[in-house]
Amino acid sequence: MSGVSASFRFLFFSIHKLTNRDTSWLISKRKQKEPEFPPPDAIQKLEAHVEALLTLTMRATARFFFLRPMLTDQVLHDRINGERTVAALEGLRNWLYWGLVLELSKICSDDDNRSPSIIRVTEKLKNVHLRKQLEDKWVKQNREPGEDEEPLRVQFNREYSDYLCLANKTLSTHSVGGYKDIRDKLIAHNELRWSGSRYDFYDVKDAGLTIGDERRLLEMLQELAHQLLRIVRGVDFTWETALHNDKKRARDFWGLADQCGN
């Protein structure tokens, strides 16, 4: 009997130990999956990042309008050819273009928690507790005395979901990935690759980008900035005046003020 009792006690404690270990593991995993409550200053920091993203997108847009005639305006190209300054134009165009690529990549893909970027802001907005705080704040700002809250909450959540959908679509575009590759391999760092006979710098053709990708990405970023201002700050912003002024300043500089163009 003593042998049986000892075996039973060994089996009991083994099962007990295993059960406790497994239970603690499950509890640990469950805790990891639960969304954390944001710190008290989370909304204040988020508002600052949204304002910064608007500023950065406006700067990138102004840079794009200054660059665009150098890429597509035939009148400017003909004039430069006549003045025999093609090499200088190409050098300036490349510097401005890579500068724009760097800015677009930072706006979209910077993953440092202190950096205002679409990827970081979007990750924060996926927190359900932060979403509820923003919803309550938005309803309080927009509710008239005696007005029912429910339609406002429905509107907020629709706009919130619209932002997340467009942000995910933007971040998954080929241009965002291509610009990040160029930034990492050619602008922020200098990567050398073996080409079969020698080492060469990263070839931008490998990114598969075309002229016009930057314009399409900027248009998406402009809409994202507008949506962020709506759901985080509760304010409207229209791009028409800023776009008109940036375009006019650039065309005035290049002496194309009397020319129609986008």
Does a structural domain hold residue 12? no
- Nearest partner of 214 among 66, 82, 85, judged by Cα: 66
* DSSP codes of every residue in 16-39: HHHHHHHHHHHHHHHHHHSPPPPP
**Domain assignment of residue 33, yes or no:** no
Q: Is residue 150 one of the residues assigned to a domain?
A: yes
Give the mean pLDDT of the chain.
84
DSSP line for 207-229: GT--TTHHHHHHHHHHHHHHHHI
CA atoms of 193 and 179, how far apart (whole Å)? 18
Q: Is residue 59 part of a domain?
A: yes
Do the Cβ atoms of 56 and 240 come closer than 8 Å? no
pLDDT at 132 over 90: yes
Full residue range of the structural domain in which residue 96 is found:
42-253
How many domains, the chain? 1
107-130 confidence digits (pLDDT tens): 999 998 889 999 999 999 999 999
Task: With cut-offs at 50, 70 and 90, classify the pLDDT of residue 29.
Answer: very low
Does residue 2 form part of some domain? no
Give me the residues paired with residue 192 across strands. Answer: 201
* Distance of alpha carbon 39 from alpha carbon 55, whole angstroms: 25
DSSP secondary structure letters along 163-193: HHHHHHHHHTSHHHHHHHHHIIIIISS--EE
What confidence tier does 3 reach under pLDDT thresholds 50, 70, 90?
A: low
- Is pLDDT larger for residue 29 or for residue 227? 227
- Per-residue pLDDT tens for 199-237? 988 888 888 888 889 999 999 999 999 999 999 999 888
pLDDT digits (tens, 9 = 90+) for 165-201: 999 999 999 999 999 999 999 888 888 888 888 998 8
User: Is 174 a domain residue?
Assistant: yes
> Out of 23-27, 144-148, 151-155, 157-161, which region has the weakest mean confidence (pLDDT)?
23-27
Whether residue 98 lies inside any domain: the answer is yes
Is residue 21 one of the residues assigned to a domain? no
Whole-number pLDDT of residue 28: 46
Residue 30's pLDDT band, with cuts at 50, 70 and 90, is very low
